[in-house]
């Protein structure tokens, strides 16, 4: 799922804010470990 999200593609981020927030949470967990 994360591989489908591109920081340069604002349409995906705007259209799917929940997916974006979920991706950020996943990143936080990775760095937390």
Distance CA 20, CA 9 (A): 11
> What total of structural domains would you count in the chain?
1
In contact, 28 and 21? CB cutoff 8 Å? no
What are the tens digits of pLDDT across the range 1-33?
Answer: 555 556 565 555 555 778 888 889 999 999 987
Give pLDDT, residue 21: 86
Whether the pTM exceeds 0.75: the reply is no
Distance CA 33, CA 27 (A): 10
Distance CA 24, CA 7 (A): 12
Instruction: List the domain range (segments joined by +) for residue 25.
Output: 2-32
Structure tokens at 9: 């593609």
Give pLDDT, residue 33: 77
């Amino acid at each position: 799922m994360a591989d489908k999200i591109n920081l340069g593609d604002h349409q995906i981020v705007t259209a799917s804010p929940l997916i974006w927030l979920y991706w950020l949470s996943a990143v936080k967990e990775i760095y937390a470990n």
